[in-house]
Amino acid sequence: MASPSGVRIRIDRQGRMVIPAALRDEITTTPGDVIVHRTAAGLLITAAPQEGEVAMAPDGLPLLEIDRMVSNADVLAAIDHERSSR
């Protein structure tokens, strides 16, 4: 689906923006971060590169496959780091 040349996106009082689903699907097919690039013409939104490939596990949850082993301690440290940055 080709995106229109301009789409109005509202920003709520908390500073959140909702990008219409059709545009999100053009940016990326998996949930995650996006990168906003400032250009001479305005802003460009692209999907952030992922370290691995996201697949669906048999239980229906997303599964990130990467090139190294990740221990439970690594996961807990990442969770603690994320919580402390909020």
3-state secondary structure the chain: CCCCCCCCCCECCCCCECCCHHHHHHHCCCCCCEEEEEECCEEEEEECCCCCEEEECCCCCEEEECCCCCCHHHHHHHHHHHHHCC
pLDDT at 56: 81
Task: Write down the pLDDT at residue 27.
Answer: 76
More confident residue, 81 or 7: 81
Provide the whole-model pTM. Answer: 0.39
Question: pLDDT tier at 3 (50, 70, 90 boundaries)?
Answer: very low
* Domain coordinates in residue numbering, the chain: 53-84
Span 27-55, pLDDT tens digits: 776 677 788 888 888 888 887 776 667 77
